């Protein structure tokens, strides 16, 4: 199944400007919507910090505001007219006139507030949350097309939205496209702390560790020898890979209860991966953690 491209953005949302194009790109364009002008230079350290932040915030505003970046070394005319004395300097233009601005690198929260003041961005964020809720509901109903559309709309407005990235990856996982799920979740930062991103990565880890033996064969080995911890551990991997996370937890807890130190505590470590894949707030994780604590602290 193919889903909407989540990274589509208007071509002229962010552009490199010039003195020659200032009237068109800034003055005239600001009569239709606010335009931010980022005055910067290649030698400016704070500019290298601020500019990516502005680009991210402009994308998150979903087309409600545009960004024009002006290199003051190459294009000094309008920087001079606007009395830009230090960089980075950012001006907001509305209806052909500069209406607000700031100098220096500012925190992300201040930058968002600056854009919100121009665009009413609080309503845009409300729309994003509404679309996220629609995506989650569609996914819970196995409406993969509806879920993909909702998450893709969020990513069109905010390409770095980590929960939406994870949502798209979950859609691909539900559709059986593991490779696309892995590519999609890779869009999130490697050190992401988002619980849904971590859950998807844990699910992918479980899939990649599935044993070669079939579940029925492993069940038979465990039935023949309940003390065969390796067979039971392999069974837990097969159960997790097939989506039976509760079964995987039961198998792993049986090993921990019998021998918590087996194979350098492999069963306990694998339980943590399963809990993460299930989601910290899931019944599987909550019940599993409670049972694990009972075993460890009995």
* Catalytic residue numbers, as ranges: 44, 47
Nearest to 232 by CA among 205, 259, 208, 207: 259
> Read out DSSP for 81-138?
HTT--SSSEEEEEETTEEEEEEES---HHHHHHHHHHHH-HHHHHHHHHHHHHHHHHH
Instruction: Give the span between the Cα atoms of 48 and 45, in whole angstroms.
Output: 5
Tell me the C-alpha distance between 51 and 105, whole Å.
9
First-to-final CA distance of the chain: 49
Kind and range of the H or E element at 172? Answer: helix 162-174
- Cα dist from 38 to 41, 74, 77, 220, 289, whole Å: 10, 14, 14, 67, 50
Q: CB of 197 within 8 A of CB of 165?
A: yes
């Amino acid at each position: 199944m193919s889903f909407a491209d989540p990274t589509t953005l208007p071509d002229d949302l962010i552009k490199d400007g010039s003195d020659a194009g200032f009237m068109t790109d800034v003055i005239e364009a600001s009569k239709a919507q606010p335009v931010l002008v980022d005055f910067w230079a290649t030698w400016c350290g704070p500019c290298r910090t601020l500019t990516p932040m502005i680009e991210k915030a402009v994308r998150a505003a979903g087309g409600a505001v545009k960004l024009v970046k002006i290199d003051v070394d190459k294009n000094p005319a309008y920087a001079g007219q606007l009395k830009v004395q230090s960089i980075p300097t950012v001006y907001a233009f509305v209806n052909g006139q500069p209406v607000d601005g700031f100098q220096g690198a500012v925190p992300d929260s201040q930058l968002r507030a600056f854009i919100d003041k121009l665009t009413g961005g609080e309503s845009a964020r409300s729309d994003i949350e509404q679309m996220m809720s629609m995506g989650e509901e569609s996914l819970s109903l196995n409406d993969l097309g509806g879920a993909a559309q909702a998450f893709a709309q969020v990513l069109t407005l905010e390409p770095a939205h980590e929960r939406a990235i994870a949502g798209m990856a979950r859609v691909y996982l539900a559709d059986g496209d593991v490779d696309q799920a892995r590519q999609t979740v890779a869009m999130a930062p490697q050190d992401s702390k988002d619980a849904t991103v971590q859950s998807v990565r844990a699910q992918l880890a479980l899939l990649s560790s599935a044993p070669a033996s079939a579940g029925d064969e492993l069940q038979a080995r465990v039935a023949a020898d309940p003390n065969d911890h390796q067979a039971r551990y392999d069974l837990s991997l097969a159960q997790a890979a097939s989506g039976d996370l509760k079964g995987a937890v039961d198998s792993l807890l049986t090993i921990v209860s019998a021998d918590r130190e087996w194979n350098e505590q492999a069963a306990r470590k694998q339980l943590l991966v399963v809990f993460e894949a299930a989601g910290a707030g899931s019944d599987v994780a909550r019940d599993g953690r409670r049972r694990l604590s009972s075993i460890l602290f009995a």
